[in-house]
Amino acid sequence: MTADPQPGRRRRTRLYALTDGRTAASRRGLTMDTVITATADADHGHGSLPTEWREILTMCAPPGGRAVAEIAARMRMRLTPMVLLLGELLERGLIRHRPPLDASETSNVHLLMKIRDNLARL
């Protein structure tokens, strides 16, 4: 067993560095289609936050917000590390999350008709 240093590979920021050492505890409820919005609290003290965090908060400015998958893609991170990182931001109250509609909502005829009508006008 040799541990090749792989000199050609770009060094990546390790996950624990981005998430302050936390892992699985934070990831509950954040799926790839969950929408993340920065909170008002995030406006203060931005300067002291890590660069990656600031980039995410800027990207997810209210009212729109961005889906987890979109943030991951734009930050060039895989989904799982991004979910962990977002879990950290969530715990610190810097972001809010809006889960995708559940089955009872997505089987609602009125909502489906609204989606259909809206799509038809695109």
Which one of residues 24, 44, 45, 51 is an interface residue with other proteins (CB under 8 A)? 24
Distance CA 11, CA 26 (A): 25
Residue 11 engages other proteins in binding (rule: CB under 8 A): no
Give the other-Cβ count within 10 Å of 27's Cβ.
19
Cα–Cα distance for residue pair 13/72, rounded to 1 Å: 14
44 binds other proteins (CB under 8 A): no
CA atoms within 13 A on the CB side of 47: 1
Return the bridge partners of 98, or none.
Answer: 35
Site for other proteins (CB under 8 A): which residue of 18, 26, 34, 89? Answer: 34
Q: Does 59 bind other proteins (CB under 8 A)?
A: no
With CB under 8 A as the rule, give the number of residues binding other proteins. 48
Q: Does 25 bind other proteins (CB under 8 A)?
A: no
Query: Does residue 72 belong to the site contacting other proteins (CB under 8 A)?
Result: yes
Q: Is 105 in the site for other proteins (CB under 8 A)?
A: yes
Tokens, residue 66: 């961005």
